[in-house]
Structure formats: C-alpha cells, structure tokens
Structure 1
Amino acid sequence: MTRTVAPTFAQSTWLVAHREITMRLRSKAFLISTGILLLAVLASIVIGSIASANASEPKVAVVGSATAVVKHAKGLDVRESDSVAAATRLVKNGTVDAAVVPADKSDSPLGISVIANDSAPEGVITQLSVAPTVTLLNPPTQNGLLVYFVALAFGLVFFMSAITFGSTISQSVVEEKQTRVVEILMSTIPVRTLLAGKVLGNSILAFTQIAVIALLAGIGLLVTGQSGLLGTLGPSIIWFVVFFAFGFVLLAALFAAASSLVSRQEDVASVTTPVTMLVMIPYFLVIFFNDNPLVLGIMSYVPFSAPVGMPMRIFLGTAQWWEPILSLVVLLLSTAFVIAIGSRIYSNSLLRMGGRVKLSDALASQR
C-alpha cells in the first residue's frame, strides 16, 4: 500500500502562491492595467526628453550699441540686425522673440529698450535684469522641479501598486470565505499556509511589476539620451525596489488579516480603510514635503512609509551610507511582527461566518 506524503509547508505555500499568480495573469483587467501603467511610465520619459530637447534659449535681435549690453547676458540666442526697423520686422514675423535696441539713457538706465509682439518677453527681461549676488547657506543639491517629479513618481507607483494588489488580496480572501471555498482549502492545507501563499503570490506579482517599471525607466532614460539623469536616479530606484519588496509584504499581511474579519464583499472597505490610509499617507507626505528633511527623515524610518521616504533621501543626497541599511532592518523586523499578528487574526477569523468579527476576538488565542 502506497502511503501518501503530505506536502511540506513550503510546497503548500508555493501551491497557493502559484494559484494566486495564475489567476491574476489570466485576468484581462490586470494585464490591461499593467500595460497602461508601463505605457504611462514610458510616455512620461519620452515627453520629458522631448520637452528638454525643445527647450531653447529666447531668440533676440540686437541693434548697434545694444549689442554691448546683450553680450553679457547668458541664456539668449543673439542675432545682430542692421537697424531698428529690420529688428522690428523680425519680431513681427516671429523669427525672434524680441528685439533689443538702443534707447536714450534718460528713458532707460541700461540704455536699451525691448520690442516684443503682444506680451512682455519675461525670459529676455530676466536675462537682461541686473540682480544682486545671492549666497545660499544651504544650497539645494537637486533642481526643485525635478525633485517634485521624482517624489510624485515614487509616491504614485507605491500607492497604485500597493492599492491594486492589496485590493486583490482582500477580494480573494472574502470571496473564498463567502463561497465557503476556504473550508475545502483548509481541509487540505493549514490556514497559515493559505495566508503565506496569498501574501507570497501577490508580493511576487507586485515586486515583478515594480522591477519591470524600474527596468523600463532605466532603458527609456538611456535610449532618450538622459544617461546623466539615470546616473542620478539609479541608486534611489534600486533602493525603492528593495524597500518595496519588503514593505508590500507588510501591507499584504495587513490587507489579508483585515479582510478575514468580514464575510461579504460589501464590508471589505470598512475593514481595509485603516490599511488604505497607511498607503495614502506616504503618498501625500512625499508630495507636499519632498524638500523637508525632518519629514523625510521620519518617513524613512516608519515601516509603511520607508519605501518612499528613504529612496527620496538617497536621491537628495541627505542620507548617510548606513541609514538605508538601518531603515531596512527596521522594516524587516516590523514586517515579521505584522505577519505574526496578521496570521493570528487571519487564523481566528477565517472560519467565522456571518457578521463582522471583532478585532479583540480575532486576536484572542484559540482554545
């Protein structure tokens, strides 16, 4: 008589994870949303490249003695003209943005006047203006606009991926509970194995999606000739992928545990709202406080915001070499603790049908 050998914990976990991955990859909605996200990332890189390539210096026509003033100005495409009338014609037909012509010093201290079509050419005026020397005690290491867009990218990718796959876990848990499929599954595998498989499967999908986005962004920056920007962003992107891999496991365990408290899809939102808030808070904080060292410093050590806060500090150059390692250790310990608590809630709630299970009952030890 052949004796059937029960699958090990690892084998059972992988069976559940494989099932989760297969179901997601068969979903047209998942494939379409992933494709749209990748296209959006690629489009943003291409548009940024085109915008930077098309950013040209203001064109100005200069006449006579005005050349001596304009030649000291930086950031202007200067074209000499024979007369004021000729320079004016160049402005009218759009060949240049403005004309700089001589003027009486009683009318203009600089001895020049600017001719434009229908509005004052701010770019030209700024370059011609005389400004005092400014000394910054704490000069920024990165362009402010670039910092904002990097913060937006990190925050948005983290938010969308965490919410998308977190919602998938929640729906899967409640669907299996509502249809009582979970009773069949638990007759063959332990409940903790079921939780581990769900977390592992969706974490693999989420990590793969983030890794593909990072790889696509890197290739896009290289192809569009933005290798300098890639060199600046590279380390922070790598750390973002690493932190996200462990940070999502923490969130996935929370989504699964919270969803096990209810038995109907209509009640999922009520129990997962606190977890959703943990995902939304880093998104808003990194957008509004992307240049605030204190807020970013706190974010980089809080487990659910570290995947966004620490990569931003690495990009800004404000993090010491050991800080990402310390932050990652804090995240790993927090993830282990959350998995332990989430596993207890999941185990104690999964077979309780009907109304919502109280959190205190779910945390209580089984007898």
Structure 2
Amino acid sequence: MSTASPTHVHAAGRVPFWRAVGIVAQREIMVNLRSKAYLISAGIVLLGALAAVIFSSVGPQLFQSTTTVAVVSQTEAVAEAVPDTEVTVVSSEQEARDLVANEEVDAAVLPGDGPSGILVLGDREAPESLIAALSLAPEVELLDPLAPNPGILYLIALGFGLVFMMASMSFGFGIASSVVEEKQTRIVEILLASVPAKALMAGKIIGNSLLAFVQIGLIAAVVLIGGAITGNSVIVDGLGAPIAWFVGLFTVGFVLMASLFAAAAALVSRSEDLGSTTTPLMMLVMLPYFAIILFNSNPLALQIMSYVPFSAPVAVPMRAYLGVMEWWEGLLSFGIVLATTLLVVTVAGRVYERSLLRTGKPVKLREALR
C-alpha cells in the first residue's frame, strides 16, 4: 500500500530555490565526471565520431582495388576506358587465356560473338565490377547536379538519429536511475527537508542537460574540424547549417525528454519497476531514429516529422541538408519544440512533486495529476 510523508516542511530550514537548483546540478555533474563509465563512454563516442569522419574521407580509397585485365588489340580501347583497371596487351587470345588460367591476371577481355561483341573471360569467376562497367547502361542526366548522394544521405541521417537516440537514452535513463535510487534509499526524504522537490528535479535536469550539451557540442566540433582537416567537402560545405539546427533543437528537446524521465522515475520506488514507466519513453526516443532512417529522402515525411516535437531535432537538420526547408519553417519547428517543452516541464514537475514521497506500488499517472 502506498504511503505518503508530509510534503509541507518549515521554510526556515530550506535553501533558496535557485541556490538549491545550482547545488543539485553541480552534484549531478560531479557524480558523472567522477564516473569511469561515463568518461569511457563519452570518449568512445568522440572517437567514433572522429573515426566516421576519417572513414568517410579515406574509406573509398581503402576499399578501391585495381583489376588486372589481359586484352588483344581489338579490345584494348574498350578495356582502357574502364576505371580502376590495369591493362596488359597480348598478341593472341590464347595467350590471354593462359594468363587467366595461370592467375597472372584477374580476367581477359576478348572479342565475342554475342550482341555486345565482347567476351569477359575469368578463371572460376569474372570480376563483377568489370562486367558492370562493360555492360550496356542508359545515359543518365541529372537536372540538379548538386543532388546529394543517396549513400551519403543515409549515413548523415544515421548519424543524426543515432546521436539523438544515444544521448537521450543514456542521460535520460541516468536521471531516472538517480531518482529511483534516492527514493529506494529514502535519501530523498532528507533532501526534501531542505530542498524543494521542484528544485531537486530542476537541478537534475539542468546538470544532466549541461553534460549532454557539452557532449553534443564536442561531437559537432570533432565532425567539423575533422572534416576541415581531411578536406571532406561534404562535411565542410554541407553540414555546417544542419549541425547548427541539430544542436539548437537538441538543446530544447533534451530538456523535454529529461523532464519525462524524471517524472516517470518518480512514479516508482524500486529499480525493478523502473522499466514499466520508462519503456514508453524509450519508444519515443527510438521512433525518430527509425523514422529518419526510413524516410531520410522523403520531403513530405521529413516535413511532417519536423513539426513533431520528438522527431524535429533530427528531421529539421535533414531538411536543411537537402535544401528543402525555408528559414521560417525551422523557426516554427523550434517554437513548437520549445512550447511543448515548457508544457511538459510544468506537467512533469507536478507529477514529480506529488509522487516523490510515495512508496510501495507504482503511482498511477492519473493519481499523480489529480
């Protein structure tokens, strides 16, 4: 059966609200900075971002290989037109066959009797890249020569979605675990004797938000500086504005998610019950990640997602990268996220304050709001 301790204490022993918020926020920051797990995970994330920048610049060259090809005079011009090939001219078709059989070349390009007039000869298999290059393909002309590469577009969407999801889940669940731990050990009753409940919640949100903002800022700096050093034009020329939108929207959106995690944790008094209240929040964080992966090149889907508070931090940067967003649309999305955050913080504060001292079975949201 739930029990409630008196929520009214004498004001004489209480710390002023904003001073209490600062103390709690400082404590949250110091606890995380002293945690080896936090420092190691933050270092891994930064190294991962740097590795992704370097790989995007030098990766294609690492996996690029040269195909050795034997040709006769009739097929020499055709083979030399194929990129990434090393051509060896021989005097007869039999000599080319011998080179392939002895594995001295990867394949041979010889005159053929088929419609193409070309025969690709391999030992056990013929190089697929050579076959694709020699196959008849229609001429392609793009009206927009600056259109983004689909592969790069997918990687950028993956990056924005992954950073948003990992930061929200790791810091959000850290807040939730902290709240439940204080309830389970009854420390919260001591804290509330001198610190208002809303100040305790605000301090936790501000402290963890600052850590999240610093981490996101460092990731952005690593990506932009790494792109400039490696000469990656995609990052230097195309990602500056999208990253700025992402940082701005994430700053507000994370406060929204942190408030929800704090309120959800206040509804339970045992760590075993935490999953029942935080699972819906995990889904809210994961859905934008999967949506941006599936619809990263769909302008209509991205436009709809940019006006949904939980997906705007990843949808707006993608629209900015694609060049399909007017400046006022980004500000409108930011305004929607900000208004939603203010509303959620107000409601979450009420739930947190009314549930923090209740122990026993989980508190229903309806009871906390009543």
Q: Give TM-score, length-normalised by structure 1.
A: 0.89
SS of 1:113 mapped into structure 2: strand
| 1:272-324 deviation per Cα after TM superposition (whole angstroms, max 9, x unaligned) | 11111110111111122222222222111100111111112222222222221
Aligned-partner Cα distance in 2 for 1:173–1:6: 20
Query: Amino acid of the residue matched to residue 71 of structure 2?
Result: V
Correspondent of 1:67 among 72, 76, 85:
76
- Counterpart residue number, 1:17: 25
Does 1:265 pair with 2:297?
no
Deviation of 1:350 after TM superposition, in Å, equals 1.0
Matched, 1:98 2:107: yes
Indicate which of 234, 246, 253 corresponds to 1:247: 253
Q: 1:200-211 maps to which residues of 2 (within 5 A)?
A: 200-211=206-217
Cα deviation, residue 48, structure 1: 3.3
Partner SS state of residue 71, structure 2? strand
| Structure 1 residues without counterparts, runs of 5 or longer | none
For residue 65 of structure 1, give the secondary structure of its aligned residue in structure 2. Answer: helix
- The range that moved more, 57-66 or 141-150, is 57-66
CA deviations on 1:128-148 (whole Å, 9 max, x unpaired) are 222234567899921111122
Contact 2:106 2:126 in 1 (8 A): no
Do the aligned residues in 1 keep the contact of 2:246 with 2:314 (CA within 8 Å)?
A: yes
CA change 1:171–1:217 in 2 (3 A) is same
Task: Confirm or deny: 8 A CA contact 2:354 2:368 kept in the other structure.
Answer: yes
Could you say what secondary structure the match of 2:109 adopts? strand
If asked which structure has higher relative contact order (CA below 8 Å, sep 6+), I would say 2
Say whether 1:307 aligns with 2:308: no
- Which residue in 1 is equivalent to 2:116? 110
Change (3 A) 1:176 1:12: same
Counterpart for residue 143 of structure 1? 149
Name 1:298's counterpart in structure 2: 304
Q: Secondary structure at the match of 2:119?
A: strand
Distance 1:338 1:169 in 2: 16
In structure 2, the partner of 1:30 is 38
Query: Offset at 1:161?
Result: 1.0
* Secondary structure of residue in 1 paired with 2:357: coil
What is the aligned partner in structure 1 of residue 167 from structure 2?
161
- Residue 229, structure 1, aligned to residue 235, structure 2: yes
State the identity as a percent: 50
**Aligned partners of 1:221 and 1:230 also within 8 Å:** yes
Distance 1:131 1:199 in 2: 57
Task: Check conservation: 2:13, 2:193, Cα contact below 8 A.
Answer: no
Distance 1:359 1:233, change over 3 A: same
State yes or no: 1:82 paired with 2:108: no
- Kept in 2: contact 1:100–1:113 (CA 8 A): yes
Q: Is the 8 A contact 2:68 2:107 kept in 1?
A: yes
Count of residue pairs brought into register by the alignment: 357
* Residues 1:321 and 1:94: Cα distance change in structure 2 (over 3 Å): farther
Q: How big is the alpha-carbon RMSD for the aligned residues of Structure 1 and Structure 2?
A: 2.5
Give TM-score scaled by structure 2 length: 0.88
